A = this chain, B = another copy of it.
């Protein structure tokens, strides 16, 4: 039997870490702030990469690779950028046995190094748009870490695009936000809110930051991806200009956008339960585990029967070598195995015992609902892909219903404070707000709630309304939550 995990109701945070470590997704490393992504966790990341990378390529992007180390001076060229990142930098001072003339920082993000190259590559409107993405590791020094959610080093992708006009760059920013939304909803089975970030929450160096925000089971929000309209800030900092069709020089317009291994944390927290990990089938490295149940005298027959059905299911489900597995282990009991596959988040388990064999049946068990379905052995292989799709949709619908139950509008600051009293997450709360960053700061201090997004079109909805925090005219209908 797998180790016992802390129930969600008892301690959500311990529950999360128990799942990460006991499902062997990640482990603490000897270097403070860094994590090790174990094969079971990395296999999920590979699924994430594959799905996103396909979407990036379909929208015209290419991948490239830029240096890990950035001259410290580059970071200082964009004033807001250095202010945002300076406290989190890791600095290389020695290389090849010698002290460096100029310190180098490990990239916390690559705008600066990339725009220093764009200066070489962009001269004319014919060089635009330039649509590049990078899959890479980045480093942001953290004191307190939580596996997947907050670590000094993490893996991510960062898109960096250059355009001839502000409109094009803004359109790209929104296109990529929608790619993220589609990915979150269709692959992660995670409904997300989209919108603009407030001044307090936007990226250091951006004009506007757009984000997708998801709700976790504890009622806290998690920012799952961001897409930034950078205006001409980095083009000016690195003096990147192009000759337009009329022969005039103009600074280039920019976007950047990224998601990280943090998504795996979101995935875990959104769907899992007290038995362990629950994974949406499209991102599950192993989708089906076939578990023969036998005693010594039935072993050979049951194994042969199970192997045949395993082969047929594999044929139908397809995918990589471990997409469908046959459990041939003889050391652990069937009960132990069932608990183990629940812990590991395998979406469908197929149990095959001597009785099933006699009746030409198999027992198919859903991980999400734990429902047991007796199927004809001849029908199971064709039915299982459809069942996997049903589970995928079911998880999304469940998460969506949960979010709806945990979304409300506060009509007064009293009501708002009442909602955010006590510990833990409290869902999404929409409120009319005057748009003042100082007010946002005060609310955060008093309630730990921050503005997650200003939904598209919220200004129109705010028209004529009164800010619940100040009594002044409202500018925005803002969505607040406590957040990871």
A: residues with CB less than 8 A from B are: 27, 29-31, 33-39, 41-43, 45-46, 57-58, 62-71, 74, 86-97, 103-104, 106, 113, 116-117, 120-121, 126, 132, 136-137, 139, 141-143, 152-153, 155, 320-322, 331
Contact = CB atoms under 8 A, between A and B. Distances in A.
Contacts of A37: 64-65
A219 B137 CA distance: 37
B68 A139 contact: yes
Contacts of A142: 96
B39 A63 contact: yes
A126 B330 CA distance: 12
B31 A70 contact: yes
A68 B137 CA distance: 8
A143 B96 CA distance: 8
Given A31-B71, A37-B65, A42-B64, 13 more contacts: A36-B64, A36-B66, A39-B64, A39-B132, A45-B65, A46-B63, A68-B137, A68-B153, A87-B96, A92-B92, A93-B93, A96-B142, A136-B137
A69 B34 contact: yes
A85 B251 CA distance: 44
Nearest to A130: B39
B321 A113 contact: no
Nearest to A28: B120
A153 B67 contact: yes
A58 B322 CA distance: 10
A126 B7 CA distance: 29
Contacts of A63: 39, 42-43, 46
B29 A67 contact: yes
Contacts of A121: 27
Contact of A95 (B35, B141, B321): B141
Contact of A90 (B64, B66, B95): B95
A222 to B, nearest CB: 21
A117 B36 contact: yes
Q: Which 9 A-B pairs have the closest CB atoms?
A: A96-B141, A39-B62, A34-B67, A91-B94, A37-B65, A95-B141, A90-B95, A93-B93, A42-B64
B92 A91 contact: yes
Most chain B beta-carbon contacts within 10 A, residue among A38, A64, A103: A64
A157 to B, nearest CB: 13
A45 B74 CA distance: 28
Contacts of A39: 62-64, 132
A87 B95 CA distance: 8
B43 A69 contact: no
B58 A321 contact: yes
B67 A36 contact: yes
Nearest to A69: B31
Nearest to A24: B121
A90 B103 CA distance: 11
Given A90-B92, A94-B90, A36 B65 contact: yes
A43 B152 CA distance: 29
Nearest to A261: B65
Contact of A43 (B31, B62, B93): B62
Nearest to A132: B39
A116 B30 contact: yes
Contacts of A36: 64-67, 117
Contacts of A104: 31
Nearest to A114: B36
A141 B69 CA distance: 12
A36 to B, nearest CB: 5
Contact of A30 (B46, B71, B155): B71
Contacts of A103: 94
7 contacts: A30-B113, A38-B64, A42-B62, A90-B92, A91-B92, A91-B95, A126-B331
Contacts of A58: 321
Contacts of A137: 68, 136-137
